[in-house]
Amino acid sequence: MYDWTSDGVQDALASVFVSDAKVQVAFPFEDLEGPTGWYGEALAPLANAWPDIERRDTIVAAGRTEQGDDWVGCCGYYTGTFVNPWLGITPTHRQAAMRFHEYFRIAGGQIVAMQAIWDIPEVMMQSGLWPMAPSLGREWQVPSPASQDGLSRAERDPDRSAVSLAIVQAMGADMSRHPTEPADAMNLEKYWHPKFSWYGPAGIGTARGIDGFRSVHQIPFLNALPDRRGGSETGGAHFWADGDYVAVTGWPDMAMTVTGDGWLGIVPANTPITMRSLDFWRVEGELIRENWVLIDLLHVWHQLGVDVLARMHELAPRGR
């Protein structure tokens, strides 16, 4: 996909996917019919909009989950010159970029399942057509790992992988103690580096340090969704680790009720929703230094009865 040709991409997909692979992609794509659906309904329209498209991966991490499944997680972005409309988004005729997190489950030497979140709101913003509340964090092209080893690392170290996984899972367990327990029960300083960076999706943005994370994402999120929960209600989270890198998927991996105000400008609706997120962490020593997070925000609004793409269309200049 870096040296993208239509035939080349389709041949590559056919060679590595089983024909009936379970393919789940962020809203509005949803469940697609194996690799042919993945190409025909998602990749080909994007390539039509960005004819010189290429894919750039910044992290590739592989491992086995506690459930016994083998996964490969990829983080990066698609880029190309935006010359034709895509999902109704007005082309800019300039280079565009869209973050992706794409996870692949491997069995018998082939991909049998895939989950992908594309940061579509990021493309909308680049087109100047963002119809929702402004981000509290910084919007930018999220960087690759500061360690510059997201793609090229030594042979997988099972012991280091186990340490990284334990740190991330302990952090998640302590974070889930609030708001039932006081905020200091989350012990964020115990797990996160003082120069920690949280790279959230477009619509939330990037936060720096614990104070930045709390103000940009965590406090608004918990105020609006205090009953957020995972586990059996959502099918559970699936973690794996590869050296300093940890990944998790769930599809969905959280359920909650919108009972408060403040997150994304969403009015409290007392509406139950689920949330899809695909996350990567990088552990440095004994602390988490970076966290790449993509949330299917368009799916969140869809569950609340808000058609973000339709709202965007109303902002587009007529005749474009």
pLDDT given at position 233: 61
Question: pLDDT by residue (tens digit) across 79-105?
Answer: 999 999 999 999 999 999 999 999 999
Q: What is the DSSP string of 149-216?
A: -SS--SSP-HHHHHHHHHHHHHHHHHHTTTTTS-GGGG-HHHHEEEEEEEEPPTTT-EEEHHHHHIII
- Phi/psi at 308 (nearest 5 deg)? -65, -40
Amino acid (one-letter) located at 70: D
- Read off the pLDDT of each residue in 158-173 and give the average, rounded to a whole number: 96
Q: Write down the residue that tokens 């997070």 correspond to.
A: 293
pLDDT given at position 96: 98
Which tokens sit at 116? Answer: 């992908």
- Look at residue 12 and give its three-state secondary structure: helix
Q: Write down the residue that tokens 């709390």 correspond to.
A: 214
How far CA 306 is from CA of 220, 257, 300, 303, 311, in Å, comes to 20, 16, 9, 7, 8
Q: Write down the residue that tokens 């100047």 correspond to.
A: 128
- Read off the pLDDT of each residue in 150-179 and give the average, rounded to a whole number: 92
What integer best gives the mean pLDDT of the chain? 94
Question: pLDDT by residue (tens digit) across 21-65?
Answer: 999 999 999 999 999 999 999 999 999 999 999 999 999 999 999
The DSSP bridge pattern shows strands 206-208 and 192-199 to be antiparallel
Distance CA(235)–CA(249), nearest Å, equals 10
pLDDT given at position 223: 92
Mean pLDDT is lowest, of 10-14, 42-46, 150-154, 260-264, for: 150-154
Contact (CB, 8 A) for 92 and 106: no
- Phi/psi at 19 (nearest 5 deg)? -65, -30
pLDDT given at position 236: 75
Domains of the chain, first to last: 6-134 (3.10.450.50), 158-308 (3.10.450.50)
Question: pLDDT by residue (tens digit) across 201-254?
Answer: 999 999 999 999 999 999 999 999 999 887 556 667 899 999 999 999 989 989
Distance CA(95)–CA(78), nearest Å, equals 10
- The beta strands (E) that lie in the chain are given as 17-25, 30-33, 54-64, 70-81, 95-107, 110-118, 192-199, 206-208, 238-242, 245-249, 254-258, 271-275, 277-284, 287-295
Q: Which residues contact 9 (CB under 8 A, 6 or more apart)?
A: 1, 39, 43, 47
* pLDDT at residue 316 tops 90: no
* pLDDT at residue 319 tops 60: no
pTM: 0.96
